[in-house]
Structure 1
Amino acid sequence: MKLLTLNTHSWLEDEAERKLQELVEKIVEADYDIIALQEVNQLVESAVVSQSDLVNFCSVSGQKSIHEDNFAYCLIKKLAMKGRSYYWSWDMSHIGYDIYEEGNALLSKHPLASEAIIVSETSNYQDYRTRKLLIGNTLFQGKEICVVSTHFSWWQDGNSGFAFEWQQLEKRLLTENNPLFLLGDFNNPAQEAGYLLVEKSPLALIDSYHIAKTKSGEATVEQAIDGWKENTRKLRIDYIFVPETSIVYSHQIVFDGENAPIVSDHFGIEIEITTF
């Protein structure tokens, strides 16, 4: 099974259309089974897409309307033109930069039973600190799995920010019987407080980076970016956590200028897993 996670930065990127096409080309080449995307946005004021045009869309309760410039919708259409069909879900977390409705997306080769849950202390869509994560149950080789596209807040302390949000997600996932795969932007560097909270979770997850038989690259952020404006070091803040019984064949940093062109202010992660 091949999985990809990428914080896309979508329409905030310079030459966004070109970068979207480069993302399409990599997905076609790699033929991923599961894709998790973050910072997937659409303009607040753009036109709404009719339901009949939402091919293979798997909605959530209280679904926010999909607009014609929704980054995931545009991606799905371009993939279809290349002969690649994915089921997909998206929902909005908050308003970004006053003009975008920003959220997370999931893509799977099989139908998704999806839900979006608010995990943050605030649920005000006008507040950029509002975090809504996307959970989808889908199939791989006839086996049910649960995948989550995550975009958390930064570490504040043991009771707020990332810690609060993680506790909310953990509470929900403890009711889940299917194998868990958490993919996304955790906004917490490896081996620091937030990361260690995930490592010791009763969800019995493991960082795929640590158990991969082969690895290529490590950091997912290498410069100052939104949310890390004072950053001067290479950071690993994006992850794919898998069941601790998993056998991971490879873990590779992609969209880093070496393994596919840079398309975002984050690099992506691709893993290939043989057993879980």
Structure 2
Amino acid sequence: MKIMTLNTHSWLEEEPQEKLKQIAQKICHEQYDVIALQEVNQTMDAKRLTSEQLKNFSQVQEQTPVRSDNFAYCLIQLLAEQGETYYWSWEMSHIGYAIYEEGNALLSKQPLTSQTHLVSETKEKEDYHTRKILVGQTSVKTQCITVASCHFSWWADEKSGFAFEWKELEASLAPLTTPLYLLGDFNNPAEGSGYDLVAKSQLPIRDAYPIAQKKQAEATIEKRIDGWENNKEGLRIDYIYVPQDCFVTSYQRIFDGENGPIVSDHYGVAVTLE
């Protein structure tokens, strides 16, 4: 089983169409079973897509209309041109940079059923603090699993920001009995307060990095990026959490200039599990 996550920083990069093609090429080559993407943007004034155009799309309740320049939709089209079929879902969290509807996406080789969980203290789409986590049910080799594409806020204190959002998601996922995978941009460095909070969770998950039999470079951002303007070092803030009983054979940093071209202000993460 192969899964990956990437904060795409979509449409905000130089030569975004070329980078979109590079992401599609990597997916085709690696044949990931499940993919989680964050900062998946569409412009608010682009043409709305019809249900006939949204092939293999899993709607969520109160689905935001998907538009023609939706980054995940464009990726799905490129993959289809290469003969690769992925089921997918997307939902926005908030308006970004005044012109984008920004959200999370999930792609799966197998049929997908998705829901969103509002986890932030705010709910207005105009507020960039508003966060929705996209959670899907799919299968890999006949086993049903639950996977989430996560994009959290930064650590504020023990009652707000990331801490509030994590506890909201934790409560929503607690009743689940299927194997759980959490992927995405947690906006909290490894060994920090937010990371420690997740490590103490009652959810049956573990960080894939420390338990991987083979692993590569750790940091997923380098120095200053949006939201980390004062940062001066490499940090691991993008994660893949896997079920406690998983055997992680490899952990790779991808789209870092060595293992694939740089396509975003974040590097991606991919893991292979038995």
Q: TM-score, normalised by structure 2?
A: 0.99
String of CA shifts for 1:31-85, please: whole Å, max 9, x gaps: 0000000000000111001110101001100000000000000000000000110
Q: Secondary structure at the match of 1:51?
A: coil
Which deviations, in whole Å up to 9, do the C-alpha atoms of 1:228-252 show, x marking residues without a partner? 0011011000000001111000000
Query: What is the match of residue 105 of structure 1?
Result: 105
Match of 2:271 in 1: 271
CA-CA distance at 1:147 after TM superposition: 0.1
| 4+ residue runs over 3 A deviation | none
Q: Give the SS at the match of 1:183.
A: strand
How big is the shift at 1:116? 0.7
Letter in 2 for 1:209: Y
- Report the counterpart of residue 255 of structure 1 in structure 2: 255
Partner of 2:114: 114
- Cα distance, 1:113 vs structure 2: 1.1
1:80-99 equivalence runs, <5 A: 80-99=80-99
Partner of 2:213: 213
Please give the alpha-carbon distance, in whole angstroms, between the structure 2 residues aligned to 1:205 and 1:80. 33
Corresponding residue number in structure 2 for 1:131: 131
- Matched with 2:173 is 173
Aligned partner of residue 137 in structure 1, secondary structure: strand
| 2:227 corresponding residue in structure 1 | 227
Could you say what secondary structure the match of 1:166 adopts? helix
User: Which residue of the partner structure matches residue 243 of structure 2?
Assistant: 243
The separation in 2 between residues aligned to 1:88 and 1:13, in whole angstroms, is 23
SS at match of 2:221: coil
3-state SS in 1 of match to 2:257? coil
Quote the residue 1:53 is aligned against.
53
What CA distance in whole angstroms lies between the structure 1 residues aligned with 2:21 and 2:113? 28
Output the CA distance in 2 between the equivalents of 1:15 and 1:125: 28
Alpha-carbon distance in structure 2 between the residues aligned to 1:49 and 1:119: 27
Residues 103-152 of structure 1 show CA distances to partners (whole Å, capped at 9, x for unaligned) of 00000011111001110000000000000010001011111100000000
How do residues 24-39 of structure 1 correspond to structure 2 at under 5 angstroms? 24-39=24-39
CA contact (8 A) 2:180 2:204 kept: no
For 2:81 and 2:216, locate their aligned partners in 1 and report how far apart those are by CA, in whole Å: 31
**Structure 1: distance between partners of 2:165 and 2:247:** 28
Say which SS state the counterpart of residue 198 (structure 1) adopts: helix
Q: Which residue is 2:17 aligned to?
A: 17
Cα distance between partner residues in 2 of 1:176 and 1:244: 14
| Residue number in structure 2 paired with 1:189 | 189
Please provide the CA RMSD for this pair.
0.5
Match of 2:79, SS state, is helix
Any idea what SS the aligned residue of 2:271 has?
A: strand
Identity value in percent: 56
Structure 1 residue 204, shift from structure 2 partner = 2.1
Distance 1:205 1:49 in 2: 37
1:214-241: CA deviations, max 9, x gaps? 0011100012000000110110000000
Q: Which amino acid aligns with 2:184?
A: G
Structure 1 residue 175: Cα displacement:
1.2
Question: How many equivalent pairs are there?
Answer: 274
SS of 1:129's equivalent in the other structure is coil
Deviations 1:165-208 (A, max 9, x none): 00000000001110000000000000100001111100021100
Is 1:40 the equivalent of 2:58? no
Quick one: which amino acid aligns to residue 260 of structure 1?
G
Give the secondary-structure state (helix, strand or coil) at the position aligned to 1:229.
Answer: coil
Q: Which runs of 5+ in 2 are unaligned?
A: none
Q: Is the 8 A contact 2:208 2:248 kept in 1?
A: yes
- C-alpha distance in structure 2 between counterparts of 1:184 and 1:262, whole Å: 17
